[in-house]
Amino acid sequence: MFGSIRHKRSLVAAATLATAALTLSTLPAQAFSPHYEVGVSASTIKLGITIPLTGSAAPGYNKVPAAMSAYFNYVNDNGGVNGRKISLVVKDDAYLPTLAVAKTNDLVLKDKVFAVVGALGTANNKAVASSVNLGRRGIPSLFINTGYSGFADKAKYPTTYPLLPSYIVEAKIMGQYIKDNYAGKKLGLIYQDDDFGSDAQAGFKAAGVKFDVSVPYASGSQSAASGAAWVGKLKAAGAEVVVVFGVSSATGVALAASAALSYKAQWILGSVGGDATTLKALGVPAAILTGAQGASFLPSPGDATDEYIKQFQDINTKYNAGAVFDNNVLIAMNTAMLTVQALRAAGSNPTRAGLMAALESKGGSFASASFSPILYSSSSHVGYTGYWIGKYNSSGVMLPDGGKYTLYTTDSGAGAVNTVASKRPAMPAKGLPNN
């Protein structure tokens, strides 16, 4: 008999629930302020970022959010953007696509950000694009921190704006450089076994470079033991010139292992994992880095004669207490400065659609530290397209070959690698955009 009492109770509960639901449904829909876009108020603009702060890929990248916030705070203290202060909501995705999806959902649904800025990682951005579907929702994802060439596909990623030159561009330029300078040498490649790495392989193939030994690694799998295994393979194949096209943690592991195993090669480091400060923090001896080569699209962070570097270093000292000024801080501040220009260009009452329209019509003229132009237009989401090649000196500063920056540019297709005169807009006074 207890059964009927129990069922009576669940019936009552269910009926109450249904009544509550019906009552609630008669309430008016949420009353949003009619004047402002989501994430924008009279006094603030809220932005969000997902980036690894913990986990194996975190070293280096974990400095980015603080440096971006430092630049935004500097701008906020100097009047903000049309009177509004910028705030940045930071979410740790541990370089895992599922976490990136969950955290971006949080940014969109809980924090209700105006736009996502500088979201990091190829796999992560792909997952977010298909799952959270920022495109379908019309939410801009600005200056994503990945060079996967596919993100420039405007039809597939309508609200995504890549900034970095694509990995294909980087590999083509490196490939050309290798052909010009290391012809006849035995070549080795360490690459990440996902879209990041497949882009690199496509680029080297386009440049006509064939590696004698290729070592793929799974994202997140790098340890001292795996480093030793990679170096073992390179050594066995007798590679004399080795390209490391991986994240900092993988690059660090490879270099530390080759120092430990006294394996000598001419190292060429991809821009993703080529930050000297991060590598040193990961235990890479200075000796093995000295003489290694690398590619970068921004001036060397150690080059205090550069007007952008000088200004950013100044802001870093005042607003980002204690942080060593390296490539991560530089990319962060450069991204933040572009963001401020985009927000200014979107007008006094910014909307998401307006922001993207402004990027496409004016983005090419924004001031930025790179010598490469930005190719945004109504038909293109391609950002930078160029790299310069340099060599690390004994204090870990990468300096350009021959003492001056030579910019190589190309596209993600079959186009040739060209040398162009490096030209860029001057740094706005005090580093405060006036566009």
Partner 1 sequence: MGEVHKSRSIRLLVFIVIALAAFFLSNVVDELRVFQGASLSVYIVAIASIVLLTGYSGQISLGHGALMAIGGYSAVLAHNHWKVSIPISFAIAIVSTAFFGSILGWAAARLKGPYLAGTTLALAVGLPSLANQFSVLGGEQGLAFDVGAPPKSLGSDFTQYKWYFWICALAALIIVWITQNILTSRYGRQWRAMRSAPISASLSGIQIGRSKVLAFTISSGIAGLAGAMLVMTLNLVTPSAFPLSLSFAIVTGAVLAGVTNLGGGVIGALVLVAIPDIADLLAGKMGGAEKISANLPGFITSLILIVTVLLLPNGPKLSKLVSHKTK
The contact set with partner 1 (CB under 8 A) reads 2-7, 10-11, 14-15, 17-18, 20-22, 24-25, 27, 30, 53-54, 90-92, 94, 96-99, 101-102, 105, 109-110, 122-123, 126-127, 130-131, 133, 136, 193-195, 218-221
Complex with partner 1: residue 223 or 365, whichever CB lies closer:
223
Complex with partner 1: residue 125 or 385, whichever CB lies closer:
125
Complex with partner 1: residue 101 or 272, whichever CB lies closer:
101
Joined together, the tokens standing for residue 340 give 């401020």
Query: Closest approach of Cβ 50 to partner 1, in Å?
Result: 10
Query: Closest approach of Cβ 188 to partner 1, in Å?
Result: 22
Query: Closest approach of Cβ 276 to partner 1, in Å?
Result: 25
Query: Closest approach of Cβ 192 to partner 1, in Å?
Result: 10
Query: Closest approach of Cβ 195 to partner 1, in Å?
Result: 7
Query: Closest approach of Cβ 46 to partner 1, in Å?
Result: 14
Complex with partner 1: residue 24 or 155, whichever CB lies closer:
24
Encode burial over 272-294: b for 16+ CB neighbours within 10 A, e otherwise: bbbbbbbbbebebeeebbeebbb
Complex with partner 1: residue 96 or 346, whichever CB lies closer:
96
Round to whole Å and give the CA distance between 419 and 288: 29
Query: Closest approach of Cβ 20 to partner 1, in Å?
Result: 8
| 101-107: Cβ within 8 A, 24+ apart | 101/127, 101/128, 101/131, 101/132, 103/50, 104/48, 104/50, 104/128, 104/132, 104/134, 105/132, 107/48, 107/50
Complex with partner 1: residue 216 or 364, whichever CB lies closer:
216
Report residue 196: phi and psi, to 5°.
Answer: -60, -50
Query: Closest approach of Cβ 221 to partner 1, in Å?
Result: 7
Single out the residue of 66, 68, 85, 65 nearest to residue 76, CA to CA.
85
Complex with partner 1: residue 2 or 262, whichever CB lies closer:
2
Query: Closest approach of Cβ 168 to partner 1, in Å?
Result: 18
Round to whole Å and give the CA distance between 97 and 189: 25
Complex with partner 1: residue 170 or 195, whichever CB lies closer:
195
Complex with partner 1: residue 97 or 373, whichever CB lies closer:
97
Kindly list the distances between the CA atom of residue 124 and the CA atoms of 215, 260, 314, 334, in Å, as whole numbers in the listed order.
Answer: 23, 33, 32, 22
Query: Closest approach of Cβ 278 to partner 1, in Å?
Result: 18
Round to whole Å and give the CA distance between 65 and 328: 10
Complex with partner 1: residue 105 or 422, whichever CB lies closer:
105
